[in-house]
Amino acid sequence: MLAKDPTHALAQFGLANELVKAESFGEAREVLTSYLSAHDDQGSGYRLLAQSCERLGLTHEARDAYRLGVQAANRHGHPGMAQEFEDRLDDLDG
């Protein structure tokens, strides 16, 4: 799908998810950054980005991703996800 349309949201998200599973966090970060800059994600993309950044030792970027994820989750009516991200932010700050 990405070969035909490199901006296809579902394909980008799916690729990023598989890259995280394969522990290819640098590549996942690149795909997720592109995906999130072009699509209104409900929160899961921000989770993957934050986790990838954490694994890469990019704690500041992880915090930013979780903060944006809180906003996205709240915007889309996912308070449980927003709380998950808030809890993770507390862990990172503690």
Is the CA virtual torsion 89, 90, 93, 94 positive or negative?
negative
Would you say residue 8 has pLDDT above 90?
no
pTM of the full predicted structure?
A: 0.93
Cβ–Cβ under 8 Å, residues 63 and 92: yes
- pLDDT tens digits for range 30-67: 999 999 999 999 999 999 999 999 999 999 999 999 99
CATH number for the region 21-93 comes to 1.25.40
Residue 57 identity: G
CB-hemisphere CA count at 13 Å for 27? 12
Q: What percent of the residues of the chain are helix, what percent strand, and what percent coil, each to the nearest 5?
A: 75, 0, 25
Q: What is the mean pLDDT of the chain?
A: 94
